[in-house]
Chains A and B, each alone.
Chain A
Amino acid sequence: QVQLVQSGAEVKKPGASLKVSCKASGYTFTSYGINWVRQAPGQGLEWMGWITAYNGNTDYAQKFQGRVTMTTDTSTSTTYMELRSLRSDDTAVYYCANRPSASYGLEVWGQGTTVTVSS
């Protein structure tokens, strides 16, 4: 079945960088786009950006422009989300999710990666 498996929990200090991975299986990796969404403790969902797996084109939410980079490795069907200059308000659960087509929503989600930013 279609599955997205994310890397494990991280604890980071303010100013550090974070790189979360999302490994896809059960479908042709280059057919779907991968979105990244985060959720701060007790808060709602926040869309961060997305990457098209077949050509690596990206779109980022303006809030994260200059601080985030999304990449893919088609040889391992893995997508990466790097966030730099971490602050305490980056503490959140980070999710990847695939989107099968333009008309579809975010169909399959990873299990989430808990990131804590604390000095």
Chain B
Amino acid sequence: EIVLTQSPGTLSLSPGERATLSCRASQSVSNHYLAWYQQKPGQAPRLLIYHASSRATGIPDRFSGSGSGTDFTLTISRLEPEDFAVFYCQQYGGSPPWTFGQGTKVEIK
């Protein structure tokens, strides 16, 4: 089973700042099948990025994903007030289980 470790646990930033979130895998993620989700309190997660760097439908271009192998990054270029939430990475390459990271909370400083 691939273990995903996200860092930092919490990121305290102000609107307009840049956010950089990390997701590290215990072994290489097949085909770069790595996704990022945003979850706000009381809501279901929302897909932001799939295949490591492809934006899902309707996702603003301030969200970008990069990485390969075992190291992946989600970048939010300029935080908007509605961006503050918890972010999860998930790997879905190869055989299941398709595990999630433990999450990074982006909070208003």
Contacts and interface: CB of A to CB of B under 8 A. Distances in A.
Interface string A10-44: 00000000000000000000000001010000001
Contacts of A97: 44-45
Contact of A61 (B49, B96, B101, B102): B96
Nearest to B45: A109
A46 interface: yes
Contacts of A60: 96
B96 A107 contact: no
A78 B102 CA distance: 30
Interface residues of A, number: 25
B72 interface: no
A111 B92 CA distance: 22
Contact of B99 (A47, A105, A110, A111): A47
29 contacts: A37-B100, A44-B101, A44-B102, A45-B88, A45-B103, A47-B90, A47-B96, A47-B99, A47-B100, A59-B97, A60-B96, A61-B97, A62-B1, A95-B45, A97-B44, A99-B92, A102-B33, A103-B31, A103-B33, A104-B50, A105-B47, A105-B51, A105-B56, A106-B37, A106-B47, A106-B90, A107-B56, A107-B57, A112-B44
Contacts of A47: 90, 96-100
B81 to A, nearest CB: 23
Interface centre among A50, A95, A105 (most CB of B within 10 A): A105
A48 B76 CA distance: 29
B90 to A, nearest CB: 7
B35 interface: yes
Interface residues of B, number: 27
A12 to B, nearest CB: 22
Given A44-B88, A44-B102, A107 B97 contact: no
Nearest first, the 10 A-B pairs at minimum CB distance are A105-B35, A105-B50, A109-B44, A59-B96, A45-B100, A61-B97, A44-B103, A105-B47, A44-B102, A103-B51
B58 to A, nearest CB: 11
